[in-house]
Amino acid sequence: MIALRTAKEFELIRRSCHVVGKAHQALKCMVNPGVTTRELDEVAEEAVLSTGAVPAFKGYHGYPATACVSVNEQVVHGIPGDRKLVEGDIVSIDLGAKLGGYFGDQAVTVAVGRADKDVASLMKVTRESLHKGIDGARPGNRLSDISGAVQDWVEEHGFSVVRQFVGHGIGRKLHEDPPVPNYVPVDRNPRLRKGMVLAIEPMVNLGSAEVVVAADGWTASATDGKASAHFEHVVGITDGDPDILTMTEDELGYA
């Protein structure tokens, strides 16, 4: 069943999302050559805990870290470790937090120094596709208006939408109904209603859309070894324009 949240619940979810955003702000200053993915995770955890929130991912189905840190061809769920970032890498950081009984969740992809032209374009188009999807998050539309907008923009620019992983509803649980694919047709296509809260998160590959999960059971990578980008916002559906509950790119300092 798809939950319909009240205005007060929107604000509680926004608080949790802003905990995540503040952690992303701290991480932004750290994404430099020589930094390990574990160091990013340690700062993320400290930033979340310092607000009185708790990490949403750590321990979730056994996941061992606060952040998912996915580098280059890694699409999602990269486990932080000893890997050092190098000039030209791109790194996707996905974070969640729980505060006051509600969850927040946000992902961004950033370059370590200067990414090459094709990879920079991948990042730009993926972020744009997220906003194309958000624009479809209006009452009376269908879920496919979000999913189709993402897919159309990605494929128009020659990139591939990952299909093994999708967005989701969010609120009292990290993952709620409905699933939010980044492609059509969708298995379930509910009409969008005021009060729905959705985590919209395009995962887009430079080459093939195919993904393989590593022996660690978590790290998902593009099978062709080409780069992948991931952006996510939590969005509330209102009577009018979509309400982005996560911090914007300008606020995060990634714009």
The CATH number assigned to the domain holding 95 equals: 3.90.230.10
Assess if residue 216 is contained within a domain. yes
Query: CB–CB of 6/229 below 8 Å?
Result: no
pLDDT mean over 93-117 = 97
Assess if residue 55 is contained within a domain. yes
Q: Is the pLDDT of residue 251 over 90?
A: yes
Assess if residue 1 is contained within a domain. no
Q: Is the pLDDT of residue 174 over 70?
A: yes
Question: Looking at the chain, which runs of residues are DSSP E strands?
Answer: 54-55, 67-71, 74-76, 90-99, 102-111, 160-161, 167-169, 176-180, 197-200, 203-205, 211-213, 220-222, 228-230, 233-236, 243-244
pLDDT mean over 187-195 = 96
Instruction: Count how many residues are written for the chain.
Output: 255
To the question of pTM greater than 0.75 for the whole model, the response is: yes
Assess if residue 85 is contained within a domain. yes
Assess if residue 132 is contained within a domain. yes
Q: 64 preceded by cis ω (within 30°)? A: no
Assess if residue 236 is contained within a domain. yes
pLDDT mean over 169-185 = 98
Assess if residue 78 is contained within a domain. yes
Q: How many domains does the chain have?
A: 1
Among residues of the chain, what percentage have pLDDT more than 90?
98
- What residue numbers bound the domain in which 207 lies? 7-252
State CA 76 to chain mean position distance: 9
Question: 214: closest CA among 27, 83, 28?
Answer: 83
Q: Is the pLDDT of residue 255 over 80?
A: no
pLDDT mean over 156-160 = 98
Assess if residue 2 is contained within a domain. no
pLDDT tens digits along 43-65: 999 999 999 999 999 999 999 99
